[in-house]
A and B are shown apart, each in its own frame.
Chain A
Amino acid sequence: MGEIKPPPQASGAPVSQPSEYLSDDPRDIGWVKQNVPCQTACPAGTNVPVYIREIIERQFGRSYETNREANVLPGVLGRICSRPCEAQCRHGWPGNGEPVAICHLKRVAADLKDAGHRITERLYSPTGKRVAIVGAGPAGVAAAHDLSLLGHDVVIFEREERAGGMLRYGIPEFRLPRGTLDIELHNALRLGVQVRTGVEIGNKDGQMPMSSLQQEFDAVLLATGCMAASPLPLLGEWEQRELRSMEGVEYGLDFLMEMHRGVEKTVGKRVAVVGAGFTALDCARVAARLGAQEVTIHIRTAEEYIPVAPEEIFEAKREGVRIKGLRTPVGLTVEGNRLTGIEFVQNRLGGWRSNGRRQAIPIEGSEFHEPCDTIIIAIGQQTANDYLGTKLELDRWGNVRIGVDGMTSHKGLFAAGDYVSGASTVVQAVGHGRQVAKRIDAWLMGRERRKQVVRIVPVDKPLRERAFDFITRQHMPTAPLDERMRDGKHEVELGLDEKLAFEEAKRCYLCNLRYQIDVDRCIFCRACIEVAPRNCIKLVRGVEIDEQGAYGKLLETKEWNQVGAIWIDNNECIRCGQCYTACPVQCISISRCELTEVEI
């Protein structure tokens, strides 16, 4: 902890600032990072409270644009995002209820905007620099968009027939309709980005070698994702056996990719899916749609630890998918070359692994058998590096290592997305793609061209009512089972209509509102404390300033002679507006603080 300052003077934002202004004071930047947990948790840095507020104002198009500033795929992420923001949402903190449905509201902005909605882009003059991107997944597309806005000529090389990466070849249509994907990809890439599909970078016949890209372009970005399905580690005689050639054995990633390339896939009556991530769940749901009579997902730990939204697990169960925990496959049973079942060992739960996952510990002598006709192996995917032709420095997980400048160990060769992080999420890929695009721009131009500031806008009244705090989370309407199973592509989640969206949007506390008391005008009548719904207004003697220059701990006191100020603890504050209304001398002000970027 650094210095201690009395509160009023510590404020970077003068309490009675009359109009909007920009601040690069670290205390203000720190304030937003601490106080708007959803935005901080979003890898793309989406300005959540602003877009939710725009939904309340029924400005769906503006809300879409606010999203688009951070992420060019709002309609896509509004459907399939892994929602790290919701895990941090203040509304979900203990005692506050359930998190705001941030993701569903993103979809609302995309779905309810005008049909003739015009997108806005801030274009820079052409720089004459050329950037090649390998891979048209979310990381590559997000980076291409930003680099083209910044004036560079961008060419994407993609080995599949169409752009989208796992969005098109992994995620099934019943979760992500291709119409939505196509429009957003088109919008992201229409500013002059050239997409060369059907071109695989590599050293084999018919492939384009990396070296030619490096010669032709000023910078190259690798965004080739994780394209290799992890093999299933079995024991004993099965340890060395090649599973791929066996009848009834599928690797989940390949299964889905082939299906999305148009290959007709079939499964047996009894399908066992092994794995616990997006791929496992999607494979199981696809298998149910392909007519399997019994689909079971077998997981090593327990359902509680499946890193997929609970609603999605529930929908899978509605479709007939069963989940069985505490088991690891150790072998298969076969008749000739045809699969007849799986040998498992029973597990108990162990400690936590360094990647935040729960460990499973096999129990000796507890093997058991479950019959099945198809096994779909979906225990993860890895990066493939063999196409590079050069050796790059790797980290201990075998992923390529990049520096803070986004560059690999090879000059001018950058990397982003799953290719760097290992299998992760779409929003992480988008966020990382944008981040590395900024680094590439700085490298090409020899300087940073944009910096982060806080826009502080005075707000003349509380934007919320106390009653909003009691609204419960709105449920996502879904398609009737029969409809979705009849047509395997039928979208399952139907989206919130305007009424549901409005109710849900009202729940957001708008954490970007900063309530402050002007201590010089405060008469210490405590009226605000009396109406406060929680312990949010405190008597303090000072506030610590942390190493980054942001506000730290409040130094509370109960001794009147030590009270330096009456201070709103923005961490506790749920922006209900009660204090603002109660203060007899109007010394409480509200300002909206939002992160934005400006040219340097």
Chain B
Amino acid sequence: MAEAAKKTRHHVIVGSGVTGSQAAETLRECEPDARITILTLSSLLFYNRYDLPKVFRGHRDWREYLVYPATYYRDWKINVRRCSRVAGVDARRRVIALDHKEEVHFDTLLVASGGRGYIPEDLTDFRPLMHGFSSYTEAMVVANEVPKKGHVIMLGGDMIGLDLARTLLDTRHRVTLVAGPYTFWPHEVDDDERPALIAALEKMGIEVLEGADAGGIVSIEQGAPGLSARRVLFRDGTELYGDVVMPFFGLSPSVEFMLGSGVDIERGLLVDPALRTTTEGIYAAGDVCQIWSDAERRYRFYYGWKNVRAMGDLAARNITGDDKPWAPAQDEKLHISGDGKLQSPFWEYA
């Protein structure tokens, strides 16, 4: 490609989370004249999701969560198109199809569409009776639903849920955790480590019920007026009553719009260590991609704020001419602190 044309390439990024936003910034640094467009489903500009538990501390104004003011995007010439759902990608024509039937042409594409809260298939029937926590809007809905000192039933756990649980306990809510294989996601925990970690959760004030011990969940029901808003029923007859039920079973990558695009997918988009997908000019980074690990000889996900930010940065550098491999930027080990409580590196962010 001619140098002049290269400078004015159109770099399109799908997703305005940590990954996409960091990539946009790095792209701008590397190519001051290129066109940069972020397409995102989100109705808000890049905001700090990690801070969302603060809605329970009374921080309910969305502006508090924005990472950059709107002027940042103008100054950095980053075009953010909010409320735009990418419906498909035609790699051959280098065109992105938006849900509202518009087509956007790209020279390079970075898919940074993250993941959404996974709900195990056997619980999907009860989706309408559960409260998600993956966006500002969802956080507000649940915050409005839980009364003062109310009771939150958490299914699964995961580091996102347990982080929220810390805040909930601090704000004098009651938290019951239905523990299972996702409780410490994305940490990989051995069977022999588990009892001590569960004990640490209890030490923190979380009431823990091992879902499998009660035979698994049979149903989630809505209470009649005057009764608890939710009942969770287990196969052995155990019942839990609470104000909301929140599923936390890790994330499942948002790849549906890439199906049929020609880019290889297993669970996430498969990328080489330089974050290139199997299709030229298309990169993926963040929670949506599975990176080939030479050391572990497998494709794997890397989660966490530091990791995904580094990935966004690396993808942008490689898109603009570098060819550097990915190196994890974050510790993955769960700890029990001196006072017996659980400590995860995923909870440390700037």
Contacts and interface: CB of A to CB of B under 8 A. Distances in A.
Interface string B121-137: 11011000000000000
A482 B270 contact: no
Given A304-B259, A326-B266, A368 B298 contact: yes
Given A304-B265, A349-B278, A365 B297 contact: yes
A326 B122 contact: no
A320 B218 CA distance: 13
A318 B265 contact: no
B299 interface: yes
B122 A318 contact: yes
A336 B125 CA distance: 44
- Max chain A Cβ within 10 angstroms of own Cβ: one of B88, B120, B122: B122
Contact of A349 (B97, B122, B270): B270
B264 interface: yes
Contacts, number: 47
A94 B257 CA distance: 13
- Max chain B Cβ within 10 angstroms of own Cβ: one of A304, A346, A365: A304
A128 B125 CA distance: 59
B124 A318 contact: yes
A94 B99 CA distance: 11
B101 interface: yes
Interface string A320-334: 100001100000000
Nearest to A485: B122
B266 A325 contact: yes
A442 interface: no
Contacts of A481: 122
Interface in A170-188: none
Interface in B154-192: none
A97 B32 CA distance: 40
A406 to B, nearest CB: 36
Contact of B122 (A302, A303, A320, A366): A320
Interface string B57-99: 0000000000000000000000000000000100000000100
A24 to B, nearest CB: 39
A363 B297 contact: yes
Interface residues of B, number: 21
Contacts of B299: 326, 346, 348
A319 interface: yes
A382 B270 CA distance: 33
B267 interface: yes
B266 A302 contact: yes
A414 B101 CA distance: 52
Nearest to A326: B266
B242 to A, nearest CB: 22
Given A325-B266, A349-B264, A366 B121 contact: no
A368 B299 CA distance: 13
B156 to A, nearest CB: 15
Interface in A315-367: 315, 317-320, 325-326, 346, 348-349, 363, 365-367
A509 B149 CA distance: 55
A314 interface: yes
A95 interface: yes
A326 B292 CA distance: 12
Contact of A319 (B122, B124, B235): B122
Contact of B121 (A302, A314, A348, A367): A314
Contacts of A326: 266, 299
A239 B292 CA distance: 29
Interface string A453-490: 00000000000000000000000000011100000000
Contacts of B266: 302-303, 325-326, 349
Contacts of B97: 94
Nearest to B216: A320
Contacts of B121: 314-315, 317-318
29 contacts: A94-B88, A94-B97, A95-B101, A302-B264, A302-B266, A303-B266, A303-B267, A304-B259, A304-B265, A314-B121, A317-B120, A317-B121, A318-B121, A318-B124, A320-B122, A325-B266, A325-B267, A346-B297, A346-B298, A346-B299, A349-B266, A349-B270, A363-B297, A366-B297, A366-B298, A368-B297, A368-B298, A480-B125, A482-B235
Q: Which 9 A-B pairs have the closest CB atoms?
A: A366-B297, A317-B121, A318-B121, A302-B266, A325-B266, A349-B264, A318-B122, A346-B298, A326-B266
Interface of A: 94-95, 302-304, 314-315, 317-320, 325-326, 346, 348-349, 363, 365-368, 480-482
